[in-house]
Amino acid sequence: MPTRIAIIGGDAAGMSAASRARRQDPTSEITVFEQAGVASYGACGMPYHLDGRIPDPTTLIVRTPAEFAQANIDLQLHSRVVEINTASQYVDVQSTCEKSARPTKHHFDKLLIATGAEAVQPRIAGCDRQNVFLFKTFADMLRIEKYLQKSIVRNVTIVGAGYLGIELAEVLTLRGLQTRLLDLAGTVMSKSLDHDISQLVLQELNSHGVLSILGESLLALNGPSNLVREVVTSHGQWETDLVVIVMGVRPASDLAKRADLALDKFGAIQVNSRQETTQANIWAAGDCTSAMHRISGTPTWIPLGPQANKQGRIAGANMVGQSLEFPGILGTAFVKAFDLHIGRTGLNEAEASAAGLEFTSKTITASDRAPYYPGGGPTTIRLIAEKSTGKLIGGQVIGRAGVPGRTNVIATAMHSHMTVSDLSELDLGYAPPFAPVWDPLIVAANQF
């Protein structure tokens, strides 16, 4: 009998696992249950549909159900798994199109949970009004776009100043809306960047007309009938035509919890390096799980697409008999705020302190290309290293050109356990249109 593999969740981790398992084992029966109407799409590109840079939202879909069917992967959309029976090894599946439909049983030999993360919502009245939206799924994006097309919207309030809040502030401003950015923290990207580095992002937002309301908590969403017309915070209130809530996400692990799978301190499904859960024949991968941080050596929860895809590939291979391990993460990520590019990897200063590491950091600002070559601009780099060994443990890069490449160099250096002295000796390329003779990375490393 062929092995029956069931996968809950059709996004990055789930579909990567299905594809890897199929390549390794052409005989297994692979069924993927996805509660939404689309799967395998580029969620990180969704903000750019709202300002027209990606005019056709279907181009965000990486692979269609028909393409998965050609690969002999049974992708069942509009199918929500409502219960996992670990003893008898079956899942109860309910249609999301027919609310009254009775769940059907689907038996499995091996199961992957790839339920991802779910959006955090404030517990205040008004969140269910017509002009209040989450921005997490493909359907969320379509709902917001439809509302913008059919309604008169002059100003928008974005609740949350993390990666997604920054991106939405850019695209909605470029769409011609007056944009306010609200966050309880005293700065933007407070969990990712050190405070003084984040101020460079804040300056860029302000220079493009984004009104940043920081250090204030959201208290109420008021308005007549079914619309919000006023946002109330701990320090004031203002009119709004649209509210988008991007306060962050949390692991979607309730299904696993009800099945008595162990969760960790983040509320994520507990897995080992092979993506195995605490129940036999059940794996988990993606944003519903945590991972080992390669610098601190402790579990961390950082929901990012590359991590989810890699964990999915590991799980898919192991479900069909291989023995692969996920090596951990550095949390490398990029975000764009108008003309400013931001990269970060490893630990920031707050995270290094929380990990109990003694460290030193250096920050420089240098030209991103030869100073005599037109079009250059400043790049700011912060490097963080262990005090005793000089081992590189983190970096932040902000500028208008070359930021992803320089951030990836730092990530590669940390992957190879390099010191800042090693970094200073790298043979990095030079040409006036791309970099100065002394690359800003080398300048930063030479400060130690």
What is the 3-class SS of the chain, one letter each residue? CCCEEEEECCCHHHHHHHHHHHHHCCCCEEEEECCCCCCCECHHHHHHHCCCCCCCHHHHECCCHHHHHHCCEEEECCEEEEEEECCCCEEEEEECCCCCCCCEEEECCEEEECCCEEECCCCCCCCCCCCEEECCCHHHHHHHHHHHHHCCCCEEEEECCCHHHHHHHHHHHHCCCEEEEEECCCCCCCCCCCHHHHHHHHHHHHHCCCEEEECCCEEEEECCCCCCCEEEECCCEEECCEEEECCCEEECCHHHHHCCCCECCCCCECCCCCCECCCCCEEECCCCECEEECCCCCEECCCCHHHHHHHHHHHHHHHCCCCCCCCCECCCEEEEECCEEEEEEECCHHHHHHCCCCEEEEEEEEECCCCCCCCCCEEEEEEEEECCCCEEEEEEEEECCCHHHHHHHHHHHHHCCCEHHHHHCCCCCCECCCECCCCHHHHHHCCC
97 is an active site residue: no
Q: Which of 44, 97, 127, 288 is catalytic?
A: 44
Positions marked catalytic: 44
